[in-house]
Structure 1
Amino acid sequence: MNTKDVQRSSIDHRQDQQEAGFLSTGVSVALQSGESWETEELMDFVVEERPVALVYNGISHAVMMATPTDLEDFALGFSLSENIIQHQYEMFSCELEGDSGSGLQLQMHIHGERLQSLKSRHRAMAGPTGCGLCGKRSLEETQRKLPVLHRRGRPTPSVIQHAIQSIGNGQRIQLMTGACHAAAWMDGQGNLLLIREDVGRHNALDKLIGALVQQKVSLDEGFLLVTSRASYEMVYKAVTVGITSMVAVSGATGMAVDTARHSGMNLIGFARQGRQVVYC
């Protein structure tokens, strides 16, 4: 194999890893041995993070730092959870442009009425790692009207415990890197149905929402499980698309709890082995 073949093989390998959501890199590991420290040179995996621009009918709306996987799901989920569109059919097309080195663009074509609505509340938002409220132009823009859900039965403690055990093997990028969030849809018995991962917790949820809609998964049964805290933005996104139960492995913020209560959502936090906290 000549030098060009080696370079091409290296580029292809790097591209394959980027599409998988992680890259291999050399690291120096410090290990304690008694009272002294030793250094070992190893290869490790790190999660991918790239700027992804969401562009509607040629107008750039947001630039998010995201893991470059399941980006079509991300485009649809973000558009629905941010109320840019209200139905999947209002997005006519979605094309991925650019490359993961210089940045990616999700070029979407949406219904004209939805575009006009977007223009009327346009925000120049540069969101670091899925920060959903970054770039708001006024405090009023954070006071969003949400639907009132038809409250359904809360998942039982035993079902949640089973869900916690079920999600682990589905976190492919997290298992490789230890630095990735996940959002998963569990059925009524706590079995894993769908999972999406991203370096940003909001992005992971948007990817999951997009996948649920694309695969026509009913939200009438089952619940959302996230490997992060339950922030206001996470609850908002879930309520917007009609998710009635959300379980988080970490705690919830006060605004998230208030929003869940007013919207009729079941919200459970600190879902750990043998323990969970019911907020509402």
Structure 2
Amino acid sequence: MRATSHSARGLALGPDGAREVARTLAEEVPIAITVNGSTQAVMMATPDDLEDFATGFALTEGLARPDQIERIEVIALDQGIEARLWVPDQIAAALGDRRRAMMGPVGCGLCGIDSLDQALRPLPELGAGVRFGSDEVVAATDLLRAWQPLHDRTHAVHAAGFLHPGQAMAMAREDVGRHNALDKLIGALVRAGMDPARGAIVLTSRVSVEMVQKTVLAGCATLIAVSAPTAHALRLAEGAGLTLAAFARRGAVEIYAHPHRIQRRDTDVA
């Protein structure tokens, strides 16, 4: 489709003087998500895995379930890329009040939402999910590092990965936007027939409200992140039954909600 990175040259200034440097920069392009020809959102995103992105975005934003998507077309245009979803007409007709035809910066997961009710939508209560050993949770973000080739080249993208208990990382997706990376991962899981309830989602970012919303709506009961949750994200996780693990790095992790899915070692502090 399009390159995900671009080489650029610059001038580095430091205590030892000036020197030329070469860097690989992550690409971001406007990606329009359309449903039956009507634009629902335009987000700046990394131009790969766009079928996954469209599927995951449709699921986590309530546009359409994966089984309601009849086909996906990814069309490159001069001004950007369109990810075109086709669904039954009655599904498309119900999207009027959720239309989000505006540019969304990569750092924002709620751009274009036009009511507080839509921003803080009620979440379903999660099922039992699966259990993890504390060692697995502590190591989760380190395992994800091996699935970040674009980050290794650019140092400018986030990743979201899927961890099975007792196994290695099963899948991951990258994007300049953390929300986009998560949508790509969720879309990839459902398109591959993998049940998000059978593992944990692992993030290279902080845990904001919309990251909890997307995880819960995907049906995954455990979320592991390298950074902190916001206060309201934690409240949502508690209410939905989501196990929330944060600060998973440097051999440690902090559990903030529903710790019953994480089996502690004998050496863990009570």
TM-score normalized with structure 2 length: 0.90
Q: Would the alpha carbon gap of residues 30 and 154 (structure 1) be closer, same or farther in structure 2, given more than 3 Å must change?
A: farther
**How many corresponding residue pairs?**
257
| Corresponding position of 1:58 | 37
1:3-42 equivalences under 5 Å are 18-19=2-3, 21-33=4-16, 38-42=17-21
Shift of 1:79: 0.3
Cα separation, partners in 2 of 1:70 and 1:153, compared to 1, 3 Å:
closer
Q: 1:42 to 1:143 in 2, by over 3 A?
A: closer
Segment drifting more, 120-129 vs 167-176: 120-129
Change (3 A) 1:152 1:92: closer
- C-alpha distance in 1 between matches for 2:198 and 2:138: 17
Secondary structure of 1:74 counterpart: helix
The residue that corresponds to 1:274 in the other structure is 251
Task: Give matches, 1:138-157, under 5 Å.
Answer: 138-157=115-134
140, 151, 154: which is aligned to 1:163?
140
Q: What is the one-letter code of the residue matched to 1:42?
A: V
Unaligned stretches of 5+ residues in structure 1:
1-14
* 1:200 aligned onto 2:187: no
1:96-154 deviation digits (Å, cap 9, x = unpaired):
1124x621111211122221221243334421116221122222222312111113355
- Runs (4+) of structure 1 exceeding 6 A deviation are none
Measured on the aligned residues, the alpha-carbon RMSD in Å equals: 1.6
- The CA deviation at 1:89 is 2.3
Instruction: Tell me which residue corresponds to 1:176.
Output: 153
SS at match of 2:94: helix
Residue by residue over 1:11-70, the C-alpha shift from the partner in whole angstroms, topping out at 9 and shown as x without a partner, is xxxx8xx43x1111111122323xxxx111122100011111111111111110000010
Please say if residues 57 and 108 of structure 1, whose CA atoms lie closer than 8 Å, have aligned partners that are also in contact. yes
Structure 2 residue 59 is matched with structure 1 residue 76: no
- Unaligned runs of 5+ residues in structure 2 are 258-270
**Cα distance in structure 1, aligned partners of 2:191 and 2:117:** 32
Q: Among the aligned pairs, what percent are the same residue? A: 37
SS of the residue 1:279 aligns to: strand
